[in-house]
Structure 1
Amino acid sequence: MDITSTTEGATTTIELDGWLDTSTAPELAEAIGQLDDSCERLVLDFAKLQYISSAGLRVLVSAHKKMNGELMIKSVSPDVMTVLHMAGFDKRLNIS
């Protein structure tokens, strides 16, 4: 998986390309863990994310807690949205 991070003001956007699974979830967790306190809003861009496993879902829960709810997920493919919906994340997270 490729991870690209950009920051504009207090918003950091992380773009994911590939699969977010057991082997790649630690990479995303590390990228999120490295955000400094000036980051007030995190946007995860899933436009190129092809797959998400339960390990990826756990990273999303951790990110949501770290950002005190200021987490947005955008550009979700239908396949990934199905997983988020089945896990109930569409009711708890800001997904557009």
Structure 2
Amino acid sequence: MEIKKTKNGNELIFAIQGRLDTTTAPQFEAELKQNIDGAETLILDLVDLEYLSSAGLRVFLTAQKIMNKQGEMIVRNANETISEIFEVTGFSDILTIE
């Protein structure tokens, strides 16, 4: 997994590449927690995310809970496979997906 982080004022963008699973989720969670303070908008760009496990979904949920208190979180560019995971798990009702 590779994470590209961009900060633009109060907007924080994470572009995630590869697999977000049990092995890589702790790394992503640590990156989020280090950088999320002060962000009013968190954008997760999933254009290059190939696989998402329950461990990755848990990190998304944690990020959503944090952002509910300080702004908004937007998930962008999820491919068909990742979108289907969001639908099946009910995350499509919790997350803002564009």
Unaligned runs of 5+ in 1: none
Separation of aligned partners in 2, 1:38 and 1:65? 15
Q: 1:59 to 1:39 in 2, by over 3 A?
A: same
Please provide the CA RMSD for this pair.
Answer: 1.0
Deviation of the 1:46 alpha carbon: 0.1
Unaligned runs of 5+ in 2: none
Query: What residue identity is the alignment partner of 1:92?
Result: I
1:67 aligns with 2:67: yes
Residue 87 (structure 2) aligns with: 85
* Over 3 Å off, 4+ runs: none
Taking the TM superposition and a 5 Å limit, the aligned residue runs for 1:22-61 are 22-61=22-61
Residue 13 (structure 2) aligns with: 13
Give the TM-score, by structure 1 length: 0.96
Deviation of the 1:17 alpha carbon: 0.4
Identity of aligned residues (%): 38
